[in-house]
Amino acid sequence: MGPVTEQLTRMGFLMCVDGVPAFHGNHKGAPSLGLAELINLSLGPHLLRYNPDHMLSWMIISDKIPADVQLQFFDYVIAKEMNDLDTTGVPGPDGPVSCRIFGAALDLKGNNNNNNSFP
Query: Mean pLDDT in the chain?
Result: 75
What are the tens digits of pLDDT across the range 10-26? 888 888 877 776 666 56
Q: Report yes or no on 75 lying in a domain.
A: yes
Q: Which residues contact 75 (CB under 8 A, 6 or more apart)?
A: 116, 119
Q: Report yes or no on 98 lying in a domain.
A: yes
Q: Report yes or no on 1 lying in a domain.
A: no
| Strands of 1-119, DSSP E | 10-21, 32-40, 56-62, 90-92, 95-105
Q: Report yes or no on 117 lying in a domain.
A: no
Q: How many domains does the chain have?
A: 1
Instruction: Give the range of the structural domain holding residue 28, as residue numbers without chain letter.
Output: 10-111
Q: Report yes or no on 105 lying in a domain.
A: yes
Range of lowest pLDDT (62-71, 93-102, 105-114): 105-114
Determine the Cα–Cα distance for residues 78 and 97; give it in Å rounded to an integer: 18
The reported pTM is 0.65
